[in-house]
Structure 1
Amino acid sequence: MPQSSPTPVDVIRLEPVGRYKQTQNGNIHAQGTHYTTQITHSICQSSSLVYNACDLGGVTGTESPAGPTKKSLYENNGVAACSQKRALCIATVVFAIFFTACVIIAYTGPQSECTCAGSKPPNFVDDEWNETKMFVPRATNGQIFPWNNIRLPTFITPTRYNLTMHPNLTTLEVKGQVSIEFQAEKDTNFLVLHSKNLTITDKIVQDRKGHTIKIIKLLEYLDGQQLYIEIKDKFRKKHNYTLNIRYTTKLNRDFEGFYISSYINNGERRYLATTHFEPTHARSAFPCFDEPQFKARFKMSIFRDRFHIALFNMPVINTEDVGFYMGTGLLRDDFQESVEMSTYLVAFVICDYVHQNKQTERGISVSVYAPSPYISQASFALETAVNVMDYFEDFFGVAYPLPKQDLIAIPDFVSGAMENWGLITYRETAILYDPNETSTSAHQWVAIVIAHELAHQWFGNLVTMKWWNDLWLNEGFASFLEYMGVDNLKPEWKMMEQFILDKTQPALALDALSSSHPISVTVQDPNEIEAIFDTISYSKSAAILHMLAKFLQLDTLQNGLNEYLNTFKYSNADTKDLWNVFSKHTNQSLEVKVVMDTWTNQMGFPLVTLVREEDEIIATQDRFLLTTESVNSSLRSKPKSKFDYKWYVPLTYFTNKYPEDIRTVWMNMSDVRIEVDTDVKWIKANINQSGFYRVMYDETMWTNIIADLRSNHTIFNPADRASLIDDAFTLSRAGFLNASIPLDLSLYLIKEKDYVPWATAIKHFQAWSRRLSESLAYKLFLKYMRKLLTPISKAIGWDSKGSHLDRLLRTDVLSTAILCELNETVFQSKSQFEKWMNRNQSIPADLKEVVYSAGVKYGGLTEWQHCWGVYNSTIIPSERKLFLKALGVASDPWLLQRYLLETLHPRSIRPQDVKIVLTVVAANPEGRLLAWRHLKAYWSTMQSLLGNSTFMMGSLISAVTAHLSTPYDYYEVSTYFNGMNVGSATRALEQSLETIKLNINWVSQNEEDIYTWLLNYLK
């Protein structure tokens, strides 16, 4: 147990490893004897490593006064000497014998099928494996690593971690100790656990009575991030043991594991230490069984400076004064033991923050932590968290199980947030809100991210997927339920109407690529796991849950979720478990698992084609791909799917004759016929775009739908108008429709006043303008956009009035008007920018994006430098993000080049924000090639800035190449990355190359038709 009296820090004793007593010379020994580590049976006696068990500061050994290094712990240190002649003779003989043996082995056969070293081990995942390659996992000392699976064995089950850590925020050194209590599920003489970049200084295994068990082998396998510990005796089935490990490491400088971060307070840089363990980074902070199914309880003690606070998943229960260290008073915080949870949910932060606090209806303490200059921006996050927690407890029918919930702003943070149980970490822009300075969209974003992470407290934390192939059970539910949580908090925001903009449409766009992947996907190594934290796992999963909720009805969904959470709480589940629970709550004719397997176990989605034949509508389904029609047929069945790319589709529809009569017909992996009256002109399918599929109408129906849209667009609700726009533009991109169809349809927008249809249209307009930027049709298309935008830009005006959706619409419309050079908007924006820059006149929060962008785009060096200066001085995180976007729309290439170079300096632009810069510059016609050249020229530098995260580099590849559209662009990108190992960015690279091809094909096939249509309409 930690000592209660103050202790000089240079001999701080954390929880002792074994039983210690101190000798007269001050060395600490286990039971007064030396502790011998035998690396292997075959190491000769003279070269075995003998060292003393020691305190947390290191191991006192025979190698050097400072103790053995990590390298020396695993290597034979014996030395032998002989003459040069004799050495040459021996070497020649040995080589001859070795060569002869190799020849004999190569030409004798057949080979044994045993799983010995040298053969491909069962279940071993090796991306480069082929029949001629023999893979042998090697430990750091060159020995064969006995465990040959990237997954840990399941016959050792951890039950409790007792963890003590002392991070030094100045030297970045971390001293740690962990005691892991575990149970053996069978008789065995070894265990395997995870460790990454940790220097083990001591280790002891004890049985349940505290008797030490002799360790005879310790091996580390770097590629597998695994430690192998073998004992002389056996771990007996159903017996309990404790593994005690002392180690040292460093605080990382990237954004993974246990890392250092900083912020500026009154010109002074302040430091904090924080964690991010998902998916596989807990192992870089402490040795552990770092897989989600190994749930355990955690106790924590943290040493910290007096002017810091320490936070953990659970509340602090005791603080002790432990003396001075390097002239600074040191305290130790002990925390309450946690409930059973996975290692990736463990979190701790050491910082000098302040907080706001409030309680939920059930008395759960909710706190928001932030630096003192920012704490005034935490009020909305606190109110949102309390309200959403109350709503989720009521909706799920399951109480939040921890005594507190902390939310904390982290300055350096790659993700939007991380759902650590009881201690949620957020990027500053996802938690801080200033009502006078923050835009409506940023306001909404804070609410969404807070609700997302709180949903995880049940889906992901209380019930966790068994393995990462079912990541969607965590992220899909959180991404769906976040909208329900915010909709309950702010019903006037119409969040479920916005759902299709933020979830369904982006997921449909990505899943139409042949390089997509199924929702449930096989993954093994950390790179594969990181690669699936993408739009499919988040947004497509949310969209199919939205579709499920529609055909099950809300009460059935609620009952199913309640049973699922109660059945698997503090445990793990997989997709089959979820569907089986829902099947209990539906009628016998609907087998949820059978239906939903077609959506989770194969990639893509169907294109439902509707063709009129007299008094019937024939509905057929085929896999939809964003390829040209000539290629489409060969790709529709790749890769193979056991469902042959057919789906159970809940086809919802109404007709022009009976618009209030919404019906559903099931396409059970088949085609269907729908009877209609002969005077029906059209049917509108996929009501509210609640189904995850696209709809293709025959030519006559498209014509009739467009005619009715233009005469009375309100016959369709806003979501249905948005889905018609989205389908028409996307079908044109895929070659199913002539470009004239979406253009004809878009003419109705002159009368449109609602946000969701306009946001959908603007997304497609901007994509068209970027692809056409080097085309003869470009200027005509900008002119057409100005014609459509003029009525709505006048209608919404320049004040801050209107509903929440009106304010979102105002920002989108006026920002797009700036890009397409609408004179009235440009003039007004430039005028406001000048008054802001020269007279410090304030700008309404929702107009800042418009005004800043106009000032930079139509200004020069003076305007750019002014914005750069304000970016560097503001303490409003959402404001900094606006400037990051605005600075990238400059029209001068040399300014854009200067801006790109700033991304190489982390004190100028945080590495987490590099993607924002590259995205906006790449979307700027003046900066498109500059962004690509920058990424190519500074690839290794940017990798280093991002902590060598290949997943982050994948997001940069996608951002920079999204708008490239010439054969030379494709050649440039494919040639540069040819043969390069990009790790978890592989899928992002494949999708980027596919997107460039699509852009090339679309321009070549549509440029002339678009030009002709625009010329005829605008003449």
Structure 2
Amino acid sequence: MSPIKPRRMSVRMNEHDVDEVAFLTGESTNANKRTLYEQDRIAVCSQKRAVGVALLVFFALFFVAVIIAFATPLSGCSFLTGPSDPSLNPDEGSDEHDFISESGELFPWTKPRLPTDIKPTHYTISIHPNLTTLDVTGWVVIRFEVLVETSLIVLHSRNITIIDKWVKEEVEDGHRVEPLNISQLLEYRPFQMISLEMKDESALIPGKNYSLGIRFHTNISTELEGFYLSSYVNSQGERRYLATTHFEPTYARSAFPCFDEPQFKAAFKMIIIRNQFHKSLFNMPIKKIETVYYGYNMELWRDEFEESVEMSTYLVAFVICDYESISNKTSKKVEVSIHTPHGLLNQAQFALQTAVQLMDYYDEFFSICVPTDLIAIPDFGAGAMENWGLITYRETSILYDKNESSSAAHQWVAVVVAHELAHQWFGNLVTMRWWNDLWLNEGFASFVEYVGVDHIQPDWKMMEQFVLEKTQTALALDALASSHPISVDVRDPREIEAIFDTISFNKGAAILYMLESVLGQSNMRHGLMDYLNEHKFDNADTDDLWTALSSSANDSMKVKTIMDTWTLQMGYPLIRVHIENNSIRASQTRFLLNAYDNETELEHVENQFGYKWYIPLTYVTDLKPRSMQLVWMNRTDYEFNMPFRAEWIKFNVNQTGFYRVQYEGQLWDSLVKVLLTNPFILSPTDRASLIDDAFTLCKAGLVDANIPLELSQYLIKETEYVPWATALEHFRSWSKVLYERKAHRPLIQYVQKLTEPIYKKVGWADSGTHLFKLLRGEVLSTTIHCENKDAEKEAMARFDNWMKKGVRVPPNLREVVYSAGVKYGGVTGWDYCWSKYNSSRVPSEKKILLKAMGSAADPWLLQQYLEACLDREVVRPQDVRTVLGVVAANPSGRLLAWRHLRAHWFTFQSMFGEGSFTMGSLITAVVGHFSNEFDYREVTDFFSDKDVGSGTRALNQSLETIRLNMHWIQNNEDDIEKWLQVHVR
């Protein structure tokens, strides 16, 4: 289907707007302004004279060449250059030929980060985007303070044409000041930088303030970064266009020239030229609107916004759209507004209510609250972005229809709204100095989001779910040799993009949760408030946080000493505990999944701590199962007496610690016994952590497969969501890698046997508590996967009634019912879901349908589905990863997805950009389940000559995972099969 495009119209500005930059320069603008590089005048001469000059040049060059040839020493040795001067780039050590600008001259700055000789203090930005031609004209004036005498200004610019530029000294008496003489403007694309050099070597004097003015042209991007184009289809079937921004981490430079590093905070004033059919939004409220052009059937309006607080460039945001909005106010009368495409406003009520409640809570917790707009963006690469005062969200992260959306979607909206609002303090008010401390932003927001939602929705038991969603996912990734420390050195945009991952987000959150468990909530809260107040509107680093938290604990705990072992080295400890003569000995070593028979083959990255940690080791026993005890392992082992008459001991209470525990001998046996006989004496999170540790230790080859299998038998009695979700995730992992093996069929039968009691308990009625509904979804999905005939029959009956009679499927059953209908309903079921996907205006419903259509049993349907991903107006680019992921998870489609990724690799690169983290997630989704030598070599060979950009670490982790899968099958398949033969009857 061809897109319905908006009527093309000629957009022009009157003389006032075209020359708006003239008031800044004192010069009139015209069509003959000098472009990016200074050009010499063209000399004109006669034809005869030109021929004569050419002959003279030729003979001169010939004689020079002869002289050089005979003057050069004859030697059989190759000509070797001396070592490059590392001072050119202390970070990389490269020679000067690496720093040749686009005009062929030597670029004067040789480091990937900007110089700190000058500090920007204020930006005034004016842009006029044309949503039809995608052209953007604009200008920016940057006021800056000189800290060190220099003649050089270096800043960021990417894919921007500089039309004009000037530099002036700022004077207070209002006298006219002539611009400084600029000798040259150069661009160095590898660093995405431009430089302006003054003719006078001491032109910029310390202590004085100057202004840099730049008039420029660029284009609205079609990728999901920078200033880019998005669209939606309204209820009348018309496609409407909008332009929006996503600048984190390094994309502000592609919208306007700027100092695009987080430590360069400044205030921003924004001016946007737009037509009368749209409205514009910025980080701050609008100050003034005026009409600047009247034309046939069109007007141009100039929106001027209030000046912002000081913030980093990655937090700047603006949107030009035709949306509608609703608003509400907090208890302190701070306004909160949500903007959506026309016809979707009714789905924004829950997010608005949640935002108001959370802002009241966060204000009480942290103080300082500002007016905030939240806006739904149809095409959005991330889940959301915390731009100060204008938070952008993917539609599924902010829109919720209580009649059409599931409990999982309900919780997702609450969590993402909470995450981005938490950033208004952690990230916006106080910002990391450099991206190596990204976790200060994302780890905090990922922790506080659960604290916030737990406060407004206590029945959801969010801190139980925290262990499932944050701690366990981080533990899984951080067990790889290709992981990285929380605080990691990064230099260029690709490296920066690569650390927006589970380590920065979830591990960062998990170690904060662990720290709170030992500091106490009160000390943690007061320390965070001190941290925010001390560094508000400024930058901070990890040490600043540790100082504030140590102070809140009255320096009774050396927080920095303890926490450096968790942030500055990758991985985490494995605590091995064994008992001898009633004495328990706990020893620590790094936990690492090992794909090799010989551990010496692993490459260990050395660090100052030697993979030893300060560990808050907690435990409970049967004598006092609700009374937690704490001992510290100070980078050492620990020994203590087993409590008298205790029958069992469970370490890492509620999995608040970021470590795993391996019990030896009778300690494991006693825990398995208590789970089988009296499981509910342990908390749901303790039961979940035992499951998680047992399966993961098996994956690492540290315990036999019979340990997690024996332990899993207790699940017949389990009724809680978190333990079940933990267990089923591990069984799904086993199923994927064993799919082509003999053990797969008995494994499926065993899981079906385990789930029979809970399947009968949850039933098919969409009722119960929030957690019970989440549990029902997990159980029903598993029973369909395990080919439970009763579940298949029930699901297909509901699908047929929906497809043939229009009988509504309850929201929490839809993912199961739709997937079963596609799997067993053939082309008819798939086509019906496809038509519903294209007609639905409920984002959460579209997401469920998108996932369900990957369940098809027919390979040709899956191939057709994959090909639809290549049309961005059929399947949005942000959803391509979901489609490839669900097809790859389907045994009928796993090789199709891999073939599709290879065949269209360059298409995906142009769709997402090399710097996008999406490329890495595509690789992981498609190949992460591979488990044989042939697949491993095929993946290695394909990517051997591919530039995967910021996806390099994700590729390495995927290759490591494939080797782990191969190694695990080799060592465990026979044992699993033997155990299942005994226990599946």
Q: Note the alpha carbon deviations across 1:339-384, whole angstroms, 9 max, x for none.
A: 1100000000000000010011111110000011111100000000
SS of the residue corresponding to residue 1000 of structure 1 reads helix
Amino acid in the other structure paired with 2:764: W
CA contact (8 A) 1:14 1:164 kept: no
Output aligned runs, 1:32-71, within 5 Å: 54=29, 59-61=30-32, 70=36
1:176 alignment counterpart: 138
Give the equivalent residue in structure 1 for 2:157.
195
**Partner residue, 1:524:** 491
The corresponding residue for 1:27 is none
| Contact 1:659/1:715 (<8 A) preserved | yes
1:153 matched to 2:99 = no
Asked if residue 737 in structure 1 is aligned to residue 703 in structure 2, the reply is yes
Matches within 5 A, 1:624-773: 624-628=591-595, 630-635=597-602, 638-677=604-643, 679-773=645-739
- Paired residues for 1:895-974 under 5 Å: 895-974=861-940
Alignment partner for residue 347 of structure 1, among 309, 317, 333?
Answer: 317
Q: 1:295 to 1:75 in 2, by over 3 A?
A: farther
Structure 2 CA distance for partners of 1:995 and 1:110, relative to 1, 3 Å: closer
Unpaired stretches in structure 2, ≥5 consecutive residues: 1-10
Amino acid at match of 2:360: D
* Paired position in structure 2 for 1:48: none
TM-score (norm 1): 0.92
**Correspondence for 1:142:** 104
For the residue of structure 1 that corresponds to 2:302, the secondary structure is strand
- State whether structure 2 residue 192 is matched by structure 1 residue 225: yes
Q: Tell me if the contact between 1:140 and 1:221 (Cα under 8 Å) persists in the aligned partners.
A: yes
Distance 2:710 2:904 in 1: 44
Code of the aligned partner of 1:253: T
Report what 1:277 is aligned to: 247
Indicate how the Cα distance of structure 1 residues 628 and 139 shifts in structure 2: closer, same or farther if over 3 A, else same.
Answer: closer
- SS at the partner of 2:86? coil
Structure 2 counterpart SS, 1:319: strand
SS at match of 1:426: strand
Secondary structure of the residue aligned to 1:13 is helix
Task: Kindly provide the amino acid, as one letter, of the partner of residue 306 in structure 2.
Answer: Q
Aligned amino acid, residue 181 of structure 1: R
In the alignment, which of 474, 483, 486 is matched to residue 453 of structure 2?
Answer: 486
Indicate how the Cα distance of structure 1 residues 791 and 105 shifts in structure 2: closer, same or farther if over 3 A, else same.
Answer: farther
What does 1:25-104 align with in structure 2 at a 5 Å threshold? 54=29, 59-61=30-32, 70=36, 73=38, 81-82=50-51, 85-95=55-65
Residue 506 of structure 1 corresponds to 473
Distance 1:350 1:967 in 2: 51
Tell me, yes or no, if structure 1 residue 462 matches structure 2 residue 462: no
Question: Over residues 175-212 of structure 1, what are the superposed CA-to-partner deviations in whole Å (9 max), with x where a residue is unaligned?
Answer: 11111100100221111111111111111111113412
Cα shift at 1:119:
2.9
Is 2:914–2:950's contact at 8 Å kept on the other side of the alignment? Answer: no
Deviation of 1:883 (Å): 0.6
Determine whether 1:293 maps to 2:293: no
Partners of 2:899 and 2:409 in 1: CA distance: 31
Q: What is the Cα deviation at residue 841 of structure 1? A: 0.2
After superposition, residues 989-1000 of structure 1 pair within 5 angstroms as 989-1000=955-966
User: Aligned equivalents of 1:79 and 1:978: distance in 2?
Assistant: 52
Alignment of 1:701-850 (within 5 A): 701-850=667-816
| 1:729-767 Cα distance to aligned partner (Å, 9 max, x none) | 000011011111101111110110000000001100111
More displaced stretch, 361-370 vs 91-100: 91-100
Find the residue that maps to 2:825 and give its secondary structure: coil
Partner AA of 2:982 in structure 1: N
SS of the equivalent of 2:245 reads: strand
- 1:704 is displaced (CA, Å) by 1.4
CA distance in 1, matches of 2:227, 2:198: 30
2:238 matched residue in structure 1? 268
- Per-residue deviation, residues 243-274 of structure 1 (Å, max 9, x unmatched): 11100110000011111110001211100010
| Alignment match, 1:442 | 409
Q: In the TM superposition, what is the alpha-carbon distance from 1:11 to its structure 2 partner?
A: 2.2
Q: Distance in 2 between matches of 1:76 and 1:630?
A: 71
Normalising by the residue count of structure 2, what TM-score does the alignment of the two structures yield?
Answer: 0.95
Q: Distance in 2 between matches of 1:278 and 1:358?
A: 28
Is contact 1:892-1:926 (8 Å) kept? yes
Q: CA deviation at 1:699?
A: 2.5
Q: Indicate if the aligned counterparts of 1:201 and 1:245 stay in contact, CA closer than 8 A.
A: yes
Contact 1:9–1:324, Cα closer than 8 Å, also in 2: no
Deviations along 1:751-788, one digit per CA (max 9) or x if unpaired, are: 10000000001100111111110010111111111101
Matched, 1:206 2:168: yes
Taking a change above 3 Å as real, the CA distance of residues 122 and 678 of structure 1, as seen in their structure-2 partners, is farther
Identity of aligned residues (%): 52
Residue 324 (structure 1) shift = 2.8
- Summarize the Cα distance change of 1:902–1:31 in structure 2 as closer, same or farther, 3 Å threshold: closer
Change (3 A) 1:10 1:94: farther
Q: Is the 8 A contact 2:574 2:589 kept in 1?
A: yes
* Paired residue secondary structure (1:60): coil
Query: Aligned partners of 1:102 and 1:388: how far apart in 2?
Result: 77
Q: Which amino acid aligns with 2:142?
A: I
- d(CA) in 2 for partners of 1:370, 1:489: 24
CA distance, structure 1, for counterparts of residue 69 and residue 522 of structure 2: 73
* Residue identity in the other structure for 2:226: G
Tell me whether 1:543 sits opposite 2:510 in the alignment.
Answer: yes
Q: Which runs of 5+ in 1 are unaligned?
A: 1-6, 21-29, 33-52, 62-66
- Per-residue deviation, 1:92: 3.3
Distance 2:72 2:21 in 1: 47
Tell me, in whole angstroms, the C-alpha distance in 2 between the residues paired with 1:31 and 1:526: 37
Q: Paired residue for 1:576?
A: 543
Pick aligned residue for 1:237 from 198, 203, 206? 206
CA shift in 2, pair 1:591/1:374, >3 Å = same
**Which amino acid in 1 is paired with 2:359?**
M
**For residues 759 and 188 of structure 1, do their structure 2 counterparts lie closer, same or farther at Cα, with a shift above 3 Å needed?**
same
Change (3 A) 1:105 1:997: same
How far 1:17 sits from its partner (Å)? 4.0
1:11 aligns with 2:27: no
Give, in angstroms, the shift of residue 723 of structure 1: 0.2
Select 2:344's aligned residue among 368, 371, 374: 374
Q: Once structures 1 and 2 are overlaid, which stretch shifts more, 419-428 or 697-706?
A: 697-706
Match of 1:451 in 2: 418
Letter in 1 for 2:139: Q
Q: Do the aligned partners of 1:629 and 1:736 also contact (CA within 8 Å) in 2? A: no
Q: How does 1:883-898 map to 2 (within 5 A)?
A: 883-898=849-864
Query: How far apart, in 2, do the equivalents of 1:276 and 1:182 lie?
Result: 25
Which residue of structure 1 lines up, in the alignment, with residue 529 of structure 2? 562
Q: Does 1:162 align with 2:162?
A: no
In structure 1, C-alpha distance between the alignment counterparts of 2:206 and 2:544, rounded to whole Å: 28
1:369-407 CA distance string (max 9 Å, x none): 0011111100000000010011011111x212x3x2000
Q: Distance in 2 between matches of 1:259 and 1:787?
A: 51
User: Over the residues paired in the alignment, what is the CA RMSD in angstroms?
Assistant: 2.2
d(CA) in 1 for partners of 2:106 and 2:297? 47
Kindly tell me: are residues 799 and 142 of structure 1, through their superposed partners in 2, closer, same or farther at Cα, counting changes over 3 Å? Answer: same
Of 214, 219, 222, which aligns to 1:253? 222
- SS of aligned partner of 2:604: coil
Aligned pair count reads 962
Any conservation in 1 of the 2:17–2:292 contact (CA below 8 Å)?
A: no
Which position in structure 1 is the counterpart of 2:148? 186
User: How far did residue 979 of structure 1 move?
Assistant: 3.1
Partner Cα separation in structure 1 for residue 663 and residue 39 of structure 2: 68
